Each structure stands twice: as C-alpha cells, then as structure tokens.
Amino acid sequence: MNTGTVISGVGHLGLILWVVLGDWLFAPQDMEPVQVTQVSMISSAEFDAMMAAA
C-alpha cells in the first residue's frame, strides 16, 4: 500500500472517532453567567457638577 494512503486513512479515522466520541470524552464546560449593568448617559456639565460635589 502507498504510505500516503495509510497516513490519510489513519488521520481520517482519528478525526471521525474524535467527532463521534468527542462529546462523551470532552464534555463542554459550563459558561459563566453574563453580568448586566444598567448605564445612563450624562452630559459633561452634569459630570462636572457630580465631580465638584464629590
């Protein structure tokens, strides 16, 4: 047999096994919950007043 054909066959077989068995062997990790923060827009005059008060 041709060496390239054997290497290609083994590589494709490995890829197929990885796709088929990958869900069992490499379970996906849980994602962290997304944190949401409310944001409001202020003018530069309001920002300056807030900084002066602080």
Distance CA 14, CA 30 (A): 26
How would you write 3-50 as a 3-class SS string?
HHHHHHHHHHHHHHHHHHHHHHHCCCCCCCCCCCCCCCCCCHHHHHHH
The domain locations on the chain are 3-53
Amino acid 46: pLDDT: 93
Q: Which residue do the tokens 């003018």 mark? A: 43
Task: Tell me the pLDDT of the chain averaged across its residues.
Answer: 89
- Model pTM greater than 0.75? no
Q: Which residues of the chain have pLDDT under 50?
A: none
